[in-house]
A and B are shown apart, each in its own frame.
Chain A
Amino acid sequence: DIQMTQSPSSLSASVGDRVTITCRASQGISNYLAWLQRKPGKAPKSLIYAASSLQSGVPSRFSGSGSGTDFTLTISSLQPEDSATYYCQHYNSYPLTFGGGTKVEIK
């Protein structure tokens, strides 16, 4: 199974800050990497697919990069509504696996 390791596990940042979350795969997954946003009581929301493609309707302050084993999710200017837990997930092979999550809090 491919293990997905996210860091940090949590962070606290101010409105307007640039935030970066990293995700590392235990083996190469090309660009078959998605990023999701999870808020309590709400449906998970797809943000990024194919490592760097923005899902329709997602604000442009979200961006993704990377290929192979190392990936990043960047929020260019953190907004209050971005308080959530973010997960990376590979879809290169079965079983599909998720990173452990990064909880983003607003200072």
Chain B
Amino acid sequence: EVQLVESGGGLVQPGGSLRLSCAASGFTLSDFYMDWVRQAPGKGLEWVGRTRNKARSYTTEYAASVKGRFTISRDDSENSLYLQMTSLKAEDTAVYFCARSTAVNSYYYMDVWGKGTTVTVSS
């Protein structure tokens, strides 16, 4: 069964750092693009960033709101995806989801999602 399980969320002070993890199972992580998406309380979904697959050298893309503060990485040997978050702000408070992205005609859409992990940025 294809599954994604996020962990690492919690309460952090403004300006602090946190690393989220996403454990993948049921598929070979290195073959797929992977995304992080978040949902702030009472708000809609917001794309955070993407890492491409091994064939595309694991290159990354980020939303403007997190660029320079968040870093996506992966350890394919551990079948894990990570989101390193620094200089956290109150507006980063959200549920964070990881998602697998699959290609259709060379364009990638998110086909499998995890249940999310909650990050709260507050003093």
Measured between C-beta atoms, what is the minimum distance from B72 to chain A in Å?
A: 13
By the criterion CB–CB under 8 Å, are B109 and A46 in contact? Answer: yes
Residues of A within 8 A of B27 (CB): none
B: number of interface residues (CB 8 Å):
27
Q: Flag whether B112 is at the interface (Cβ < 8 A).
A: yes
By the criterion CB–CB under 8 Å, are B113 and A95 in contact? Answer: no
Q: Which of A91, A97, A100 contacts B108 (CB 8 A)?
A: A91
Secondary structure class of chain A's binding surface, majority of residues: loop
By the criterion CB–CB under 8 Å, are B61 and A89 in contact? Answer: no
**Bound complex: CA A89 to CA B115 (Å):** 18
Measured between C-beta atoms, what is the minimum distance from B25 to chain A in Å?
A: 14
By the criterion CB–CB under 8 Å, are A100 and B44 in contact? Answer: yes
| Chain A residues with a Cβ under 8 A of chain B | 32, 34, 36, 38, 41-46, 49-50, 53, 55, 87, 89, 91-92, 94-101
Q: A38-B45, A43-B4, A87-B45 are in contact. List 14 more A-B contacts (CB 8 A).
A: A34-B110, A45-B113, A46-B111, A49-B104, A53-B104, A55-B111, A89-B109, A91-B101, A94-B61, A95-B61, A98-B46, A100-B44, A101-B44, A101-B45
